[in-house]
Amino acid sequence: MLTGSETEQRFGEYIEMLRKERGKSLRATAVGIGVSPQFYSEVEKGRNASLTAERLENLKAFLNLSDEQAGIMYNKAAEERRYTDTAVPQDFSGYIVERDYAMAALRVAKQLNADANDWQRFVDDLKRRKGVLT
C-alpha cells in the first residue's frame, strides 16, 4: 500500500528512495542494471525516464523489490513516459501484445466505460475461478 509521500513521488524520486533504503550507491545501482552512473543519475533526477523493460527488471532484482514495490515502480515509470511513449507499464506490454484476448478485453472495458467496481468484480471472479485466496 502506498504511503502519502510515495503517492506524490515521481518515478525517479521513488527509485532513489528505494535505492537509499537498501544502502546502495548510485554508481553500484547503475552498474548493476547495465547503465552508466551519469545516465542513472539523470533518471533519478527526472530528466530521463527511459529505462527499458529489461533494465526495470534488473532494477527490481538488484534492489530486491517486493512485488508491490515493483508494481509501483512499473506504474510510475509508465506515468513518466506516457506523454512520449506508452502509459502501459512495461511489465504488461509483452503480456498484452502476445494475447489478443487481453487487448480485446481492454477495448471492451473501455467501450463500456468499466469503472473500478467492474474491474474489482472481474479480478475477484478470476481469483475465485483460479483458486487464489486473498
User: What percent of the chain is modeled with pLDDT above 90?
Assistant: 57
CATH superfamily placement of domain 4-93: lambda repressor-like DNA-binding domains (1.10.260.40)
| Average confidence (pLDDT) over 29-50 | 91
The ranges assigned to domains in the chain are 4-93, 99-130
Q: What is the 8-class DSSP label of residue 63?
A: T
11 vs 95 pLDDT, higher one: 11
Contact 59, 33 (CB under 8 A): yes
82 or 73: which carries more pLDDT confidence? 73
Q: Between 107 and 83, where is the model more confident? A: 107
pTM here is 0.63
Chain-centre distance for alpha carbon 9: 13
pLDDT band at 1, cuts 50/70/90?
very low
